[in-house]
Structure 1
Amino acid sequence: MTTSAHSPAPAPADPDPGFDGTWVVVPLFCEAAVIGDVVHGLRTRFRHVVCVDDGSGDDSAARARAAGAVVVRHAVNLGQGAALQTGIAYALRDPLTRSVVTFDADGQHRVEDAAAMVTRLHAEDLDVVFGTRFLDGRTELDPVRRLVLRAAVVYTNRTTGMRLTDAHNGLRVFSRRGAQALRIRHNRMAHASEIVHQVGRSDLRWAEQPVHVLYTDYSRSKGQSLLNSVNILVETLLG
């Protein structure tokens, strides 16, 4: 694996100083249409954003960098799990890092949800906060997709001993201790179940936080389709 890193643009005038010890990790693959807006939004609250460009064939990396993110690049596409592991390792190189957020690049996650999860992590002395779409009614899911994702949750809970309501939401927050405990080896979608499995086998303190996931025509076209939900379930079972 080959990586390269670039320094970010200056932070916006008023990112929240309460989040100066937080790094946001964004796995990035061919999201040139939206990544600039995603990074700009994150940088209104979070000073430190690292995008892991996972072998994109477009100018995603340049747009992320122009928006103010640090960019770490995989020379070839390895998968979202690999991108997360690279980004988390990068964030932990900063000795001042207290927490790490994982955040999708396609615009479906909300900055205010991430901020609330970081605040809760530190206020309650937790190691992991998982975002969940299923503890309130804000996230709109069609019935079949909801059923498929629920099936993945049931299987994951039975095999890990956890009691989550949403096992495959990419919005998560880890304390430094929680991030250091992770060893993501599944490069693709099965990494989500792997993370839950590792947390379940540890003494890490965790909680769930309701979040509002915004499904748009764009995000569905970039991997949030029903077929992708089925792929998640299949990889969960095989993983």
Structure 2
Amino acid sequence: MEAPSVSESTPTATPEIARGTWLVVPLYNEAPVVREVIEAARRTFPNVVCVDDGSADDSAAQARAGGAHVVRHSINLGQGAALQTGLRYALRDPGARWIVTFDADGQHRIEDALRMVERLRDEPLDIVIGSRFLDGRTKPGLLKRAVLRAAVVFQRITSGVKLTDAHNGLRAMTRETAARIRITQNRMAHASELVDQLGSLELRYAEEPVHVIYTEYSRSKGQSLWNSVNILSELIFK
């Protein structure tokens, strides 16, 4: 099994950002890799909460060994539900100023997350959304690219929000934004629901170029043909 990609150099956050940022990591059956992902993330962002969404393996124990706070769902509710639980947990910290949603399988890069938080600190923005399609670094398969492009067109028609990547799990938001967001779609449709709320809540948003790393492991976990079909079906029938 191919391990997740971890940067050789650790990006350095200012003390203000390190103390004020929480990573929210949905977690489901990621025991082989999650400890390494959390340990790498915590070198930049010490505050990490993993929401173990009814895993059948020892994902929770591995995340805890990596230094994360761990909240557990007794049954699998879906990624949307895990994100909502994680947001609420992070908001319990009065020092939380920024919250980042981050995947557990190693496909997101901490340096991208840090750059997105820095934009929230420096620019009049409520949320920054990662995009795989603002540069040429990310190499999704042809089917994946086609599905994601279709999702973008669908979202523009239904919400009026103009994004280039509507289903990217790497997002950074202010505390105030996290408190306003309500995720009611438990599974893949939660991403579309979040985009809808960008428009309905009139949030100030921007996209940031990010490099999503598709390893053999991450593809087996969530980048498959069936996952692409699920995205389309939930967009249509949500």
Equivalent pair of 2:131/2:210 in contact (CA under 8 Å):
yes
Give the corresponding residue for 1:75.
Answer: 74
Equivalent pair of 1:132/1:166 in contact (CA under 8 Å):
yes
SS of the aligned residue for 2:128 comes to: strand
Give the corresponding residue for 1:46.
Answer: 45
1:141 to partner: Cα distance: 1.4
Give the corresponding residue for 1:208.
Answer: 207
SS of the aligned residue for 1:152 comes to: helix
1:16 to partner: Cα distance: 4.7
Give the corresponding residue for 1:155.
Answer: 154
User: Aligned AA for 2:153?
Assistant: V
Q: List alignment gaps of at least 5 residues for structure 2.
A: 1-11
Cα deviation, 1:98-132, whole Å, max 9, x if unaligned, reads 01000001110001100110001111021100000
Cα deviation, 1:20-50, whole Å, max 9, x if unaligned, reads 1110000000000000011011101001000
- Runs of 4+ in structure 1 deviating by more than 3 angstroms, as ranges, are none
User: Aligned AA for 1:236?
Assistant: L
Are residues 235 and 156 of structure 1, via their aligned partners in 2, closer, same or farther at CA, if it must alter by over 3 Å?
same
1:238 to partner: Cα distance: 1.0
Task: Give 1:162-181 correspondences, 5 Å limit.
Answer: 162-181=161-180
Task: Give 1:177-188 correspondences, 5 Å limit.
Answer: 177-188=176-187
User: Aligned AA for 2:82?
Assistant: A
User: Aligned AA for 1:130?
Assistant: I
1:203 to partner: Cα distance: 2.3
User: Aligned AA for 2:137?
Assistant: R
Task: Give 1:38-187 correspondences, 5 Å limit.
Answer: 38-187=37-186
Give the corresponding residue for 2:6.
Answer: none
Give the corresponding residue for 1:37.
Answer: 36
Compute the RMSD of aligned alpha carbons.
Answer: 1.1
Equivalent pair of 1:15/1:43 in contact (CA under 8 Å):
no
Cα deviation, 1:6-29, whole Å, max 9, x if unaligned, reads xxxxxxxx8752321110000000
1:96 to partner: Cα distance: 0.9
Cα deviation, 1:109-159, whole Å, max 9, x if unaligned, reads 001100110001111021100000001000001222211110011001110
SS of the aligned residue for 2:222 comes to: coil
Equivalent pair of 2:90/2:99 in contact (CA under 8 Å):
yes
Equivalent pair of 2:100/2:171 in contact (CA under 8 Å):
yes
Give the corresponding residue for 1:4.
Answer: none
**Percent identity over paired residues:** 63
SS of the aligned residue for 1:46 comes to: coil
Equivalent pair of 2:81/2:184 in contact (CA under 8 Å):
yes
Cα deviation, 1:53-77, whole Å, max 9, x if unaligned, reads 0011111100100110000010111
What count of residue pairs does the alignment treat as equivalent?
226
Q: List alignment gaps of at least 5 residues for structure 1.
A: 1-13
1:226 to partner: Cα distance: 2.5
Give the corresponding residue for 2:220.
Answer: 221
Give the corresponding residue for 1:9.
Answer: none
Are residues 137 and 15 of structure 1, via their aligned partners in 2, closer, same or farther at CA, if it must alter by over 3 Å?
closer
Task: Give 1:7-22 correspondences, 5 Å limit.
Answer: 16-17=14-15, 18-22=17-21
